[in-house]
Chains A and B, each alone.
Chain A
């Protein structure tokens, strides 16, 4: 077992926590936060592989992490806007309540 293994296990556990949150909680906000956590776990993998890659000089992993953080920010903004829109229609942020396609 190497340090890289530890990093990957860390990220895997974080991913599972995010997955559990996304599956088990029914508040839209928390589901979104769970998804953000999963994205973060992926970023951890990028950084870990970059750190232990044979040629870290070109910094691909770090670049990928930066882009992914930017995308995650956009995702959070849109997701929360959607949740607010859902709240307007259903006056609830439970995802079980958001089960109709009609507004």
Chain B
């Protein structure tokens, strides 16, 4: 019974990482954002695996339902002329440098994680289930300030986004 969650986790992790890796280095931005939507679903699957189903569904709702839609909109709005897709992958040296830096960060992180003793064990997988009711009570009691601030932040951010995006420049034509 103990191997089953591990196998599930490994499958989720490998698929998500693979799809993300492919997605981020595709030339076509549309393919890229659609594949990224899949990898966000993968991350949601991880949340489900971890027992946080509310977070998982919120993840799908926000990322697949909203963020990728907004991204696709942005792509369509900014690709009026057929863009030279090659240009969007940066200069060669820059690109390689970026990948190298990321690989180095990955190495450091993985080594750091692997050498840290942690308590989460194979056999005693406790099933922490956080019900929606619990989340509601938590939000109401402990995190009410944060909730309000996030609400204000979202409102302001959306208003700001609308203002920034709709600021029609005075065209001298």
A57 to B130, CA, bound (A): 7
Query: Are A4 and B20 closer than 8 Å at their CB atoms?
Result: no
The range of chain B's interface size is 35 or more
Query: Are B36 and A33 closer than 8 Å at their CB atoms?
Result: yes
A22 to B153, CA, bound (A): 24
Closest CB of chain A to B22's CB: distance in Å? 10
From 42 to 69 in chain A, residues with beta carbon under 8 angstroms from any chain B beta carbon are: 43-44, 47-48, 50-52, 54, 56-59, 61-63, 65-67, 69
From 9 to 52 in chain B, residues with beta carbon under 8 angstroms from any chain A beta carbon are: 9-10, 13, 16-17, 20-21, 24-25, 29, 32-33, 36, 39-40, 43, 46-47, 50-52
Closest CB of chain B to A41's CB: distance in Å? 9
> Among the listed B29, B105, B110, B165, which residue makes an inter-chain contact with A9, where contact means beta carbons less than 8 Å apart?
B110
Inter-chain contacts of B105 with A (CB < 8 A) = 15-16, 19
Q: Given A44-B43, A62-B135, A78-B157, do A37 and B102 touch, yes or no (CB 8 Å)?
A: no
Show the binding face of A for B, using Cβ within 8 Å. 1-10, 12-27, 29-30, 32-34, 36-37, 40, 43-44, 47-48, 50-52, 54, 56-59, 61-63, 65-67, 69-78, 80-85, 87-89, 93-94, 96, 103
